[in-house]
A and B are shown apart, each in its own frame.
Chain A
Amino acid sequence: MLKRKDLLGLKDLAAEEIEEILARAAEMRKLLEKNVRKTEHLQGKSVVTLFYENSTRTRTSFEAAAKITGATTASISAQSSSVTKGETLIDTGRNLDALLTDVIIIRHSMSGAPHLLAKNVKASVINAGDGMNEHPTQALLDIFTMKNAFNSIKGLKVVIAGDIKYSRVARSNIWGLNKLGAEVTVVAPKTLLPQDIESMGCTVSCNIDKAIEGANVIMGLRIQLERQQSGLFPSVAEYHKYFGINDSRLSLADSNALVMHPGPVNRRVEMTSGVIDGDNSVILEQVTNGVAVRMAVLDILAGNRR
């Protein structure tokens, strides 16, 4: 991490780089716990969020992280910008460079768009989610949350259930968790699994009861309801019946298992309300940790620019 301009994905990061971010995030988390809401880590830096896709949680989280660390922030949405006038991504990026931007946080529906931007701008680029490819800060905050609970990622049994095929969260988590030594199992009907995903180094299952046995972490992924319309599964009810996480399935896991979800949750689809709001759930803690992790990433990347 020490030498990087951009954070585009966990695929390219070494385990030590991930550990470095997690360590920095732990420092940030301590500051937040001490009610610090203003630091000087990014004093004088300019951070722009460039979102070509809707987002509430991720964008707010990044903006909070940037503001707390003292950066000036601006936000651009595809709907309200020159993007709608036909400006290309590269031209938008070059303009942000000309506006003396230090860090661009981009979300884009097309995989690889942050890589294209990073290649063409001087600013540091953080990938806040690109198509089905990666969402590195989400996986970092997930891993950070697991590490807080278990101290180490090595040997953890992590089950990820849901729309794996279209999920950038799943991919980033698999890369990151594998590098740190966890055992990842992905669970979904085959229509929601991408080809050859087992070659990423995870176990693939279509049986959630078996997969969940003895698990330390159960992560649900959002099921986009339009996937049902495109025929990837017959009904939400049948998905929930065969792949949803409920109390009886949760009881098959380790008793200290964490229940996680990147949000937004579809109640009674990926999980029942009992599971979402239950004692094992750390879904809201994930959100807070997201701010700490993003503060850490901003601090490290901005630090590289000094």
Chain B
Amino acid sequence: MLLIKNGYVVLKDGVDNLDILIDGKKIIRMEPHIEEESGYDVIDASSLAVIPGLVDMHCHLREPGLEYKEDIDSGTRAALQGGFTSVACMPNTKPVIDNASLVKYVTDRGVEVDNAKVYCIGAITKGQEGEELAEMASMKAAGAVAFSDDGRPVSNGNMMRLALEYADSFSALIISHCEDTALAADGVVNEGFNATVSGLKGISRAAEEVMVARDIILAETLGARIHIAHVSTRGSVELVREAKRRGVKVTCETCPHYFSATDDEILSYNTNAKINPPLRTESDVAAIIEGLKDGTIDAIATDHAPHHADEKNQEFYLAPNGTSGFETAFALSYTNLVLPDYMDLPALMRLMSANPARILNVGSGELAVGETADIAIVDLDNQYTVDASKFVSKGKNSLFNGWKLNGIIKHVIVDGIEKEIKI
């Protein structure tokens, strides 16, 4: 038995001071006062918040093939450090995860390392080449929770149409990386004033938005489900909002960097600010926050993209895209969404736990009696300074190094068992 005492517990629709008793993998009691009995392990959560374990529906664990950037063990330990109890990893590894045996390899490795739970996202097309469908039904049977060519778009409209139809036959979810590569061309930052004055080639918002529009129209035409990955622009938010109003089966996610930072970060040629889709402007940040508030955006995902220091420590054009995300995601979200009062904690937890869990069908992401005991306990009151050199992830490439944030993860419980994290 594990007893969490004196915590400020974040429930589905509110907060309450409750003790939580866990038996095996399950929460069995949640009451204002539960008496400690002999043989109980006790966590004192005084002045701490008890939240559902975070669920990340979009990350890169880099295994197999790119273990110099991250591997399933280091990545899921970093996830725990960030309060995540479940993560879904993208298939753009080497080789690409486009068949059942690789899906099985990744999920088995996840069980073996026994940190945060690992869910595998398979590729839509073989080798993510956008030319032939991958064996999605077999991958689903092997445990894949969704399908995506993330990192690359499915450029051919007919291929995306076929993917949506085929996936729908097996109730499988397609996650679309929306990017018109001809429009994006060789751009590396958001097109606009900051691109102009840094001499870095810009990527028009249209490169994202025309693909969001295409995929919404395809899903609507076919009556299929679609999930839009890493929404970054005002226009994309508006397209999804309008589609939801029409009843299209569309969901979408954004990432902490799209509401926490703007393309001002690229002015110093900081390669950790090189992300795809690129960091945008204040106006987009405001629209993303509005979308998170009104339910247009369903989930906050990390797009955790660990890279080796040597890869980021070179010319901006040569550096790979992405920021290490696990270990700052909650603190960025809490600091930039809850502290300024855009939303309350239960709303944030829906975005970071319940909604992604529901979209991927991997549990409830809620704290309630009878639910799986996937829990994080967090200090919301004390500000800390991000030190990326101390990250558990191999990827020290954080855009947020040196930022002052609130939201320090103190304990993480997966399936009723407390995991070790660095304090």
Contact between B195 and A90 (Cβ–Cβ < 8 Å)?
no
Instruction: Give min CB distance, A254 to chain B, whole Å.
Output: 29
Contact between A132 and B318 (Cβ–Cβ < 8 Å)?
no
Contact between B315 and A110 (Cβ–Cβ < 8 Å)?
yes
Closest Cβ neighbor of B318 among chain A residues: A110
B-binding segment of A189-197, A245-253, A255-263, A285-293: A189-197
Does any Cβ of A come within 8 Å of B269's Cβ?
A: yes
Contact between A112 and B197 (Cβ–Cβ < 8 Å)?
no
Residues in A whose Cβ lies below 8 Å from that of B191: 195
Does any Cβ of A come within 8 Å of B202's Cβ?
A: yes
Residues in B whose Cβ lies below 8 Å from that of A168: 199
Given A195-B191, A195-B192, A196-B192; A116-B314 close (CB under 8 Å)? yes
Assembled-state Cα–Cα distance A194/B189 (Å): 13
Does any Cβ of B come within 8 Å of A72's Cβ?
A: no
Instruction: Give min CB distance, A80 to chain B, whole Å.
Output: 20
Assembled-state Cα–Cα distance A196/B313 (Å): 29
Interface bits A80-96 vs B (CB < 8 Å: 1, else 0): 00000000111000000
Does any Cβ of B come within 8 Å of A108's Cβ?
A: yes
Residues in A whose Cβ lies below 8 Å from that of B384: none
Interface bits B284-323 vs A (CB < 8 Å: 1, else 0): 0000000000000000000000000010011111100000
Assembled-state Cα–Cα distance A67/B259 (Å): 53
Contact between B316 and A194 (Cβ–Cβ < 8 Å)?
no
Residues in B whose Cβ lies below 8 Å from that of A132: 199-201
Does any Cβ of A come within 8 Å of B198's Cβ?
A: yes
Interface bits A93-114 vs B (CB < 8 Å: 1, else 0): 0000000000000001011110
Contact of B200 (CB < 8 Å), options: A11, A111, A197, A199: A111
Instruction: Give min CB distance, B267 to chain A, whole Å.
Output: 9
Max chain A Cβ within 10 angstroms of own Cβ: one of B198, B315, B318: B315
- CB-contacts of B375-419 with A (<8 A): none
Instruction: Give min CB distance, B181 to chain A, whole Å.
Output: 15
Contact between B202 and A112 (Cβ–Cβ < 8 Å)?
no
Does any Cβ of A come within 8 Å of B196's Cβ?
A: yes
Assembled-state Cα–Cα distance A196/B196 (Å): 7
- CB-contacts of A125-168 with B (<8 A): 130-134, 168
Contact between B201 and A196 (Cβ–Cβ < 8 Å)?
no
Instruction: Give min CB distance, B209 to chain A, whole Å.
Output: 16
Does any Cβ of A come within 8 Å of B193's Cβ?
A: yes
Max chain B Cβ within 10 angstroms of own Cβ: one of A116, A171, A200: A116
Assembled-state Cα–Cα distance A79/B199 (Å): 24
Assembled-state Cα–Cα distance A62/B195 (Å): 29
Given A89-B314, A90-B313, A195-B193; A115-B269 close (CB under 8 Å)? yes
Contact between A133 and B313 (Cβ–Cβ < 8 Å)?
no
Closest Cβ neighbor of A168 among chain B residues: B199
Assembled-state Cα–Cα distance A89/B197 (Å): 23
Residues in B whose Cβ lies below 8 Å from that of A116: 269, 314-316
Given A195-B191, A195-B202; A112-B315 close (CB under 8 Å)? yes
Instruction: Give min CB distance, A108 to chain B, whole Å.
Output: 7
Given A115-B269, A195-B192, A195-B202; A171-B197 close (CB under 8 Å)? yes
Residues in A whose Cβ lies below 8 Å from that of B193: 195-196, 199-200
Residues in A whose Cβ lies below 8 Å from that of B200: 111-112, 131-133
Max chain B Cβ within 10 angstroms of own Cβ: one of A88, A115, A194, A199: A194
Contact of B314 (CB < 8 Å), options: A88, A133, A134: A88
Contact between B196 and A195 (Cβ–Cβ < 8 Å)?
yes
Contact between B196 and A194 (Cβ–Cβ < 8 Å)?
yes
Instruction: Give min CB distance, B20 to chain A, whole Å.
Output: 50
Residues in A whose Cβ lies below 8 Å from that of B317: 110-111, 131
Instruction: Give min CB distance, B118 to chain A, whole Å.
Output: 34
Assembled-state Cα–Cα distance A196/B191 (Å): 9
Residues in A whose Cβ lies below 8 Å from that of B318: 110
Assembled-state Cα–Cα distance A142/B155 (Å): 46
Contact of A112 (CB < 8 Å), options: B192, B196, B269, B313: B269
14 contacts between A and B (CB under 8 A): A11-B197, A88-B310, A90-B313, A110-B316, A110-B317, A111-B199, A112-B269, A116-B314, A131-B317, A134-B199, A171-B199, A195-B192, A196-B192, A200-B197
List 13 additional A-B contacts (Cβ < 8 Å) besides A115-B269, A171-B196, A196-B192: A90-B314, A110-B317, A110-B318, A111-B198, A113-B315, A115-B268, A116-B316, A131-B317, A171-B199, A195-B193, A196-B193, A199-B196, A200-B197
Which are the 9 A-B pairs with shortest beta-carbon distances?
A133-B199, A111-B199, A112-B269, A196-B193, A132-B199, A194-B196, A110-B317, A110-B315, A112-B316
